[in-house]
Amino acid sequence: MSSIRVLVTGAAGKMGKEIVKAVTRDEQLSLVGACDVAEVGRDAGEVAGVGKIGVVIESKLKKALTDTSPEVIIDFTHAQAFRENLEVYLESLQKGISLVVGTTGLKEEEVERLRQASEAGHAGCVVAPNFAIGAVLMMYFARIASKFMRGVEIIEMHHPQKKDAPSGTAVKTALSIPKVEGEALSQSEELYPGARGALVNGIRVHSIRLPGLVAHQEVIFGDEGQTLTIRHDSLSRASFMPGVIMAVKEAVSKKHFIFGLEPILGLEGE
């Protein structure tokens, strides 16, 4: 069985380097292309710290696609960079090339365009706010807990370089909780605007950005005389790699649109 041909966009970034490492270590995958605006012309393996692998970082995505003919593209960049490549991704999906997207801060209409292109080209496309399996389980447990406890707030904590706030995971968590009374229960008046955090689906979401953090989230439930805290911590970017590799293989084999890792893990029914 031949290995799956992978192209990584954002290969010189912090997440991109981890993805390059993970792809090169998986026997079922083969890194054939790498694209970034940084480290152009350098070997992607050397940039990632795994030694030469014979894949040079290109600056132009279209050229990288033409030269390498990948079966799947992985994009972990930032929202603006993703938008600059969006038309190329839509065209690729329509041609049957699969796509895995970990970039957050995307608009609903952009995700919908990816869905439509995926269906039109019968190509797999996985878009997920968080690829850490533990984070997906955190959201799953939170949905269960929301059926039994009245109040809930979310605290998400990330490194200062994160471009968006609240995080995609926090937003997805809030949107996935079907019923909550937390905001209705609150009688606090904000003495300073924003003190109570952002409202997402009626749930207060608080964003913290500090050096030393990677990606962390607490979902705190409260009810009469008790609280319940569901917390997930990503202590390094390696925590996202099992989910990324799983998504790549699922995208290539299933050839349809998937939002979040829940359907891949069999959790979408809850």
Whole-angstrom CA distances from 220 to 29, 154, 173 are 39, 6, 12
Q: Which of 21, 52, 78, 158 is catalytic?
A: 158
Helix, strand and coil percent figures for the chain, each rounded to 5: 40, 25, 35
Mark the binding-site residues, compressed into ranges: 10-15, 39, 42, 102-104, 128-131, 159, 168-169
- Would you say 39 and 12 are in contact if contact means Cβ atoms under 8 Å apart? yes
Whole-angstrom CA distances from 88 to 116, 150, 199, 260, 270 are 14, 45, 34, 22, 35
Mark the binding-site residues for NADP(+), compressed into ranges: 42
- Would you say 245 and 29 are in contact if contact means Cβ atoms under 8 Å apart? yes
158 is catalytic: yes
CA dist., res. 257 & res. 105, Å (int): 18
CB within 8 Å of 107: residues ≥ 6 apart: none
CA dist., res. 178 & res. 258, Å (int): 20
Q: Which of 162, 172, 206, 232 is catalytic?
A: 162
Q: Which amino acid is at 218?
A: E
CA dist., res. 210 & res. 207, Å (int): 10
Residue 37: how many other CB atoms lie within 10 Å:
14
Mark the binding-site residues for (S)-2,3,4,5-tetrahydrodipicolinate, compressed into ranges: 159, 168-169
Crossing angle for the helix pair 241-254 and 133-145, nearest 10 degrees? 90
CA dist., res. 16 & res. 14, Å (int): 5
63 is catalytic: no
Catalytic residues: 158, 162
